[in-house]
Amino acid sequence: AQSVTQLDSHVSVSEGTPVLLRCNYSSSYSPSLFWYVQHPNKGLQLLLKYTSAATLVKGINGFEAEFKKSETSFHLTKPSAHMSDAAEYFCVVPKGGTYKYIFGTGTRLKVLA
């Protein structure tokens, strides 16, 4: 059965420093994986998605993620944090054979001035 685990519920970084948000997945096959961002009192916005075309995926706002099958990971990174990156981030995998999606518990990113 598919699942995703976001390893950190909160991450704090200083503005201008790198961001790393961690996501591990469990799946019996190579899944699709998504990262979404949610700013306060807003809906979720797709940052990027992996669909097996390339293991390094570039998304919006300078974010990227690397699919590592050997580590069952799909960590989200950004070289330099900006104040506007402060938000909650969700790692998501479709639940195979159903219409459903499995959401991680979210990582709240705080960016310090």
Closest separation in Å from C-beta 41 to another protein? 7
Closest separation in Å from C-beta 68 to another protein? 18
CB of 3 or CB of 80, closer to another protein: 3
- What DSSP designation does 52 have? S
| Residue listed under structure tokens 């201008």 | 16
List residues binding another protein (CB under 8 A).
32, 34, 36, 41-46, 49, 51, 90, 92, 94-95, 98-101, 103-106
The C-alpha atoms of residue 45 and residue 88 are separated, in whole angstroms, by 11
| Residue listed under structure tokens 């998501």 | 92
| Best CA proximity match to 86, nearest among 42, 52, 50 | 42
CB-based contact 107:6 (threshold 8 Å): yes
Closest separation in Å from C-beta 45 to another protein? 7
CB of 9 or CB of 14, closer to another protein: 9
